[in-house]
């Protein structure tokens, strides 16, 4: 059975880098590509990082109820379509949604069995430095993102798991560990615990 993993975080916490690495590491996981009305960045590819469309087409898709969730973020629209998730699931893969906290709450309301994982920075100061170092936004936008991040972090408590992205390798291993854990049937976990307990008794 395919699972849906929701990866959420404030801007600059490192969720995009983690998601890309997870999908390269685990061949059964596929990212759901979102739609957006914002301008494409030099480092991005259309239909790979996002489906870049204009506001008119986005609103037409809303009117047709194509989106599982959609949000307005800093004046740009972002949305996840039902078809994108269904297509990945039908291929037998697990789905990763990289969305903000509002999207996380919206998806969990419709699909409560989806597994939500919230990525947080080790500190607000480090988050600010990351936003400044990636040099994608001007100072005013960074200030807006910082104010928004303080609000967004309050919603991490609604996620099933919270990961601190201080060391990228450790955060990646933890994220992969959660995904693999959720792939193991409960009965196998119980058998593993039972075998481990019996083995420890033998070697004591």
Would you say residue 1 has pLDDT above 90?
A: no
User: 175-190, pLDDT tens digit by residue?
Assistant: 999 999 887 765 554 5
User: 45-84, pLDDT tens digit by residue?
Assistant: 999 999 999 999 999 999 999 999 999 988 899 999 999 9
How many structural domains compose the chain?
A: 1
| Contacts of 11 by beta carbon, 8 Å cutoff, 6+ apart | 131, 145, 148, 149
CATH code where residue 112 lies: 3.40.50.300
**Coil, strand, or helix at residue 49?**
coil
- Owning domain of residue 196: 4-203
């Amino acid at each position: 059975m395919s699972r849906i993993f929701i990866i959420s975080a404030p801007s600059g916490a490192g969720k995009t880098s983690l998601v890309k690495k997870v999908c390269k590491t685990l061949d059964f996981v596929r990212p759901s590509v979102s739609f957006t009305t914002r301008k494409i960045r030099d480092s991005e590819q259309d239909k790979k990082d996002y489906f870049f469309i204009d506001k008119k087409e986005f609103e037409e898709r809303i009117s047709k109820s194509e989106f599982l969730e959609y949000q307005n973020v800093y004046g740009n629209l972002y949305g996840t379509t039902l078809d994108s998730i269904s297509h990945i699931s039908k291929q037998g893969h697990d789905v990763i949604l990289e969305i903000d906290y509002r999207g996380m709450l919206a998806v969990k309301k419709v699909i409560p069995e989806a597994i939500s994982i919230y990525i947080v920075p080790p500190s607000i100061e480090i988050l600010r430095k990351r936003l400044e170092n990636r040099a994608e936004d001007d100072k005013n936008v960074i200030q807006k993102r910082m104010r928004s991040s303080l609000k967004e972090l309050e919603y991490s408590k609604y996620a099933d798991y919270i990961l601190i992205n201080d060391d990228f390798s450790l955060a990646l291993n933890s994220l992969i560990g959660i995904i693999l854990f959720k792939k193991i049937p409960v009965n196998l976990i119980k058998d593993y615990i039972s075998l481990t307990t019996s083995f420890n008794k033998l070697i004591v």
